Structure 1
Amino acid sequence: MDGLDLLKKHWDNDNFPKIDKEEIKRMRYKSSSSIVKWIFIISVIELAVGLLLSFCFITTEPDEHALLYDVVYNIYNVIFYLVIGYFIYKFFSSYRNIRNTTSTKVLLKTILDTRKHVNNYIQFNIYCITFAFVLVSIEKIVVTLTNQLAPKAYYIVASFIVIVLLFYALFLYIVRLYYKFLYRRLVSKLDNNYEELLKIDEPA
């Protein structure tokens, strides 16, 4: 339980020092700004790690059998990083708006926008992970069918598909846990700030 929750718990306690509503609002502003800042920082770290891993796995050996695959993969990378860059920009804009505003209306709108962007960011990453698994699987299957003779090729492909599906399910489960532990918790705190600010601004 953080300081804001303690204040809420003891608000009606006569023995607890009364704090002006404006002070509570300032604390909610500061809390929201900190939360969005962390969302922005985490997304930038994820982008940096993704770029580092992509450079680590770059191959310099040309493969004349994978030209179409390489083209699709490059297009996918361009779209992926452009969209991720867009989300990072939105997170930074939200952080800047909250940090610079003194309007509760602007803060509430920014919290709603941030929540929407986080949800879209998570869904986009999950879709991209799914597409990447499908793309890599198709490429491996095509290479196997090209280089191996039936029925051995079909046995290898069937085994590969089963292994990929199991690995995909496990990997997606871990990714969802990661997003739930980080982003969902932060968004939950933002939602809490949103509800409290609404209550504070309610007419007496």
Structure 2
Amino acid sequence: MDVLDNYKKAWENQPEESNKLSSVEIYKMAHSRSSSIVKWIFIIGILEFIFWTAINLTIPDSFYKVYEDLELMGFLNFFMVLHYVIIAIFLFLFYKNFRRVSLVDNTKNLINRILKIRKTVKYYVFYNLATVFLGSIILNIVMFSDNNKLMKVMNPDNLALDMQQVITITVISQIIALVIILVLLWLFYKLVYGILLRKLNKNYKELVKLTDN
């Protein structure tokens, strides 16, 4: 049982004339803890942004050669710029949520702010998973839309290969890789943001009970 639970239990057992004073203490505790949780959501978002940016910067140019040969670098660059812009918007919303939570001055406003924060985080997680899935699907559709060009890129020396089999293996391997990446990302978001959202949801429930009494 944490400190907030102790406050709540003591408050419920107090005489009616003391409840108002205790409810203020419970609100202050929930407010402080909610502000801390939202701050960590913002910090983790920043760290995640830095991590993926560092990964992209360390990828060797040779990795992109096949995309250059298939004339897909324009699509990739546009997609990456758009993605970074949207992520920056989410980070701004995380920071804005933190500032607003820090400044709220009553239980009703804090409850409404928590609801909006939960929605923002869920949209952020959904966006990242959907971006990986849809981006991979679109990229592969474009790649395999011209089999002749793809075969020339994958087999420039015209070796005696069953290119249809090679393409089939490539498709299957990319599907497996996509599934693995999505599962790992989902587990990461479930672990990190899921823990923070559960704590935030607990605060929300406590505040709702506070307003009902």
Give the TM-score category using the shorter length: 0.7 to 0.9
- 8 Å Cα contact 1:144-1:153 kept in structure 2: no
Q: Tell me how far 1:12 sits from its aligned partner.
A: 4.8
CA distance in 1, matches of 2:9, 2:164: 64
Which of 154, 165, 175 is the aligned partner of 1:155? 165
2:152 aligned partner = 146
**Do structure 1's residue 200 and structure 2's residue 204 form an aligned pair?**
no
The alpha-carbon distance between structure 1 residues 125 and 37, as it changes in their structure 2 partners (threshold 3 A), is same
TM superposition score normalised by structure 2:
0.82
Farther-moved stretch of structure 1 (90-99 vs 150-159)? 150-159
Alignment of 1:18-167 (within 5 A): 20-57=22-59, 59=61, 65-67=69-71, 69-134=72-137, 137=140, 144-147=150-153, 148=155, 152-167=162-177
1:186 aligned partner = 196
What CA RMSD, in Å, does the superposition of the two structures yield over aligned residues? 2.6
- 8 Å Cα contact 1:97-1:107 kept in structure 2: no
Unaligned segments of structure 2, at least 5 residues = none
Deviant stretches of 4+, over 6 Å: 60-63
CA distance in 2, matches of 1:196, 1:34: 16
What letter matches 1:114 in structure 2?
I
Farther-moved stretch of structure 1 (103-112 vs 126-135)? 126-135
CA distance in 2, matches of 1:78, 1:58: 19
Unaligned segments of structure 1, at least 5 residues = none
TM superposition score normalised by structure 1:
0.85
Identity level (%):
28
CA distance in 2, matches of 1:181, 1:10: 32
The alpha-carbon distance between structure 1 residues 91 and 159, as it changes in their structure 2 partners (threshold 3 A), is same
